[in-house]
Structure 1
Amino acid sequence: MLSNSEYLATKVLDGIKYDEIWLADMKIADVKDFRFSESWPRQKDDYYVVFKQFKHADIVVFSTPIYWYGISSLLKTFIDRWSESLKTDPEFRQTAKHKKIVLVLVGGDNPREKGQIIIEQFKYICEFLGMDLYATVIGEANRSLEIKMDLKALDDAKKINQIIKEGEGGTGCIHIK
């Protein structure tokens, strides 16, 4: 069964060809800080597989429930590992530039207001890497698929879907959840 954030993301991506990555199905270790070392030891996990797909996508849809006024720990861990890629992958900054990021958030405690801190965080992340925070949609739901009752979020998702379809397109779209 789809979660509320996954359901809302499917509305954003309706009719668009995309690959899907379920971070819950991946083993991604916490970042280990070797920024000031001569090398950064490669970890034995799935980060590199997910990162490769991320690098090759033009449009990236991140969907996450709002947990304690932040993103899921799975998504946070993936993003934290970008510190490693900044040091070990000389192409990372260039491939990150101009990526279109779509952020889909769902929470139960006034998420349109309290989710703004997450949007601000993603603005800074995107600015740092030269990516474009292309669109955001925030839904309100607690129980399973309660998001279907949030007509504003569904309408916002439909509008973003149209914007993506009318946009320049690209070589690929991924949904990371």
Structure 2
Amino acid sequence: MSKEMDELFIETNHFNLRELRLEDATALFPIISDEGTMKFITPHPVKTLKEMKSTVNKMIEGCKSKQEVVWVIEDKTTKKVVGVFRFHKWNQWHKKAEIGVVIRNEYQNQGVMKEILPKMLYHGFMKMNLNRIVGDIFEGNKASMKLLINHGFHKDGQLRETDFDGSEYHDTIVYSLLKREYEVLYNEH
């Protein structure tokens, strides 16, 4: 494992998070193509494996150009791909990034994010040297709102009708956590 890949490997009690690879497209396709799983992310999930491979390629290119960092989440016991975690819209000058997460349907509301988010926040603030981490979520995504609030995120505001799903507009709510707030909450100095 290269030094860079080793730095991207993150382990929790039940999950391993590792660098995204092109061959992950096959395992990610049933997750990213599922309309129910993607309902709070996009009204137009990928439709074909070819489209999924293109999406994975774009994420890998985003990683190479330091616009994002993407991890595949794997269940340690079953070795099953559970989803992806991303710091995307990464701006190194402003030291900020946005969280992007997709979790396989049967793993939703099972505590996956509750377990991995503290490790990911540590990585974002302490390894990537971010000052601000943002969660920008659809108004109806109550589980994500609760998760972010429980991890110290502040509600910055509500953006009206920012996303269109093909039939209606949706508001998004912006939450953020600053490094200084994180350091107090998690005793990291």
TM-score by length of 1: 0.35
Q: Structure with the greater relative contact order (CA < 8 A, sep ≥ 6): 1 or 2? A: 1
Higher normalized helix content (fraction of residues): 1
TM-score by length of 2: 0.34
Higher normalized strand content (fraction of residues): 2
